[in-house]
């Protein structure tokens, strides 16, 4: 395995992390903005009010997106396994 292949695999791994992390982070961002807006409108400044809905929304997003995350990771692992087989 040469340096270019290693850089290519690293680039693909970083893109995989972005593909898997982005939907979950976007759900957390949207829920956080909605809760912050509700807090600003009602003037309820309770700090713990933000965390529970955010955590529940993130868990729900992970549960919903898990099949697509698994498919993306399986494809990446098959690509890595093909590279390993090609070396040996």
Residue 1 has pLDDT above 80, yes or no: no
Confidence tier at 80 by pLDDT (50, 70, 90):
very high
Confidence tier at 42 by pLDDT (50, 70, 90):
confident
DSSP states along 7-53:
HHHHHHHHHHHHHHHHHHHHHHHHHHHHHHHHHHHHT---THHHHHH
Q: For all residues of the chain together, what is the average pLDDT?
A: 91
């Amino acid at each position: 395995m040469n340096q270019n292949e290693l850089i290519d695999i690293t680039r693909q791994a970083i893109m995989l992390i972005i593909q898997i992390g982005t939907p979950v982070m976007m759900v957390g961002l949207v829920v956080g903005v909605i809760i912050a807006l509700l807090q600003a409108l009602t003037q309820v400044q309770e700090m713990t009010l933000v965390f529970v809905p955010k955590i529940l929304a993130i868990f729900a997003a992970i549960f919903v997106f898990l099949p697509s995350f698994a498919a993306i990771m399986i494809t990446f692992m098959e690509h890595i396994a093909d590279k390993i087989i090609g070396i040996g």
